[in-house]
């Protein structure tokens, strides 16, 4: 198995009946602005540069975003923020992406998620997170150049720590906040640093909890860490 064949398995996964039913429901009740779209409505594969040094871990696909377009963060507001920041700091070739078949490409960066099917109200159940965890654990085996990991938001942070501990990484109790940097001693390839950030969700960006300078600061930290 390799990263690509793992993603083919992910796409066919039906382990979470609630989410399988929800995705069908979403594609049956499209909002007017997307009525011409043929929704992806399956689990989303992770994507990016397989030799990336930076790994971003999202929470879950958005029902009208990645779940519609077929690529994580593509076509939704969180993606706009994320892709724009990645572009500004040289990790993407375009400042935004609207469709999975466009020319958007990540460079030295790989994007995955805690779960790969859009959950109702963006809230996965604990058992759904557990069902999806093996895919992330397997990805860590294939992504051999990762140096810095960035979970987006508190849930992804907690779940990333749990996954890393399952991989044998000894991690003390770490607190979540925006812009914290932790050194890791891991047996996983080159992974040595974890950086925390608030999730670029609309809830955070529209309320000013997360501003563009705050979000860009994260990628400044990443660049500094990589060049260091
Ligand atoms: S969330 Fe993950 S485990 Fe659950 S059905 Fe989707 S891909 Fe499978």
- Which residue minimizes the CA distance to atom 3 of ligand 1? 132
Below-50 pLDDT ranges, the chain: none
pLDDT of residue 227: 66
* Distance in angstroms (rounded) separating the CA atoms of residues 77 and 216: 16
- Which residue minimizes the CA distance to atom 4 of ligand 1? 16
- Ligand 1 atom closest to the CA of 128, numbered from 1: 4
**What are 113's strand-pairing partners?**
58
CA atoms within 13 A on the CB side of 93: 8
Q: Using the mean position of ligand 1's atoms as its centre, give its distance from the Cα of residue 181 in Å.
A: 30
- Which residue minimizes the CA distance to atom 2 of ligand 1? 132
- Which residue minimizes the CA distance to atom 6 of ligand 1? 117
pLDDT of residue 190: 86
Q: Using the mean position of ligand 1's atoms as its centre, give its distance from the Cα of residue 116 in Å.
A: 6
* Distance in angstroms (rounded) separating the CA atoms of residues 219 and 109: 11
Which residues does a 6 A CB cutoff place in the pocket of ligand 1? 10, 13-16, 19, 43, 115-117, 128, 131-132
pLDDT of residue 185: 83
Q: Using the mean position of ligand 1's atoms as its centre, give its distance from the Cα of residue 129 in Å.
A: 8
pLDDT of residue 228: 57
């Amino acid at each position: 198995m390799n990263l690509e064949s793992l993603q083919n398995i992910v796409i066919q996964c039906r382990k979470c009946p609630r989410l399988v039913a929800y995705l069908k429901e979403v594609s049956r009740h499209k909002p007017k602005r997307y009525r011409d779209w043929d929704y992806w409505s399956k689990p989303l594969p992770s994507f990016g540069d397989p030799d990336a040094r930076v790994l971003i871990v999202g929470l879950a696909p958005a029902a009208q975003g990645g779940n519609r377009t077929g690529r994580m963060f593509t076509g939704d507001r969180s993606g706009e923020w994320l892709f724009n920041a990645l572009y500004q700091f040289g990790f993407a070739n375009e400042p935004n992406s609207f469709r999975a078949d466009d020319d958007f490409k990540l460079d030295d960066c790989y994007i995955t998620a805690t779960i790969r099917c859009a959950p109702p109200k963006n809230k996965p159940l604990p058992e759904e997170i557990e069902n999806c965890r093996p895919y992330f654990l397997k990805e860590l085996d294939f992504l051999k150049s990762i140096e810095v990991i960035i979970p987006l938001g508190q849930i992804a942070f907690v779940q990333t720590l749990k996954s890393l501990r399952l991989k044998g990484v000894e991690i003390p109790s770490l607190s979540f906040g925006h812009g914290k940097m932790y050194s890791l001693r891991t047996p996983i390839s080159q992974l040595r640093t974890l950086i925390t950030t608030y999730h670029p969700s609309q809830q955070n960006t529209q309320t000013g909890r997360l501003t563009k300078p705050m979000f860009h600061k994260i990628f400044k930290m990443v660049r500094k860490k990589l060049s260091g």
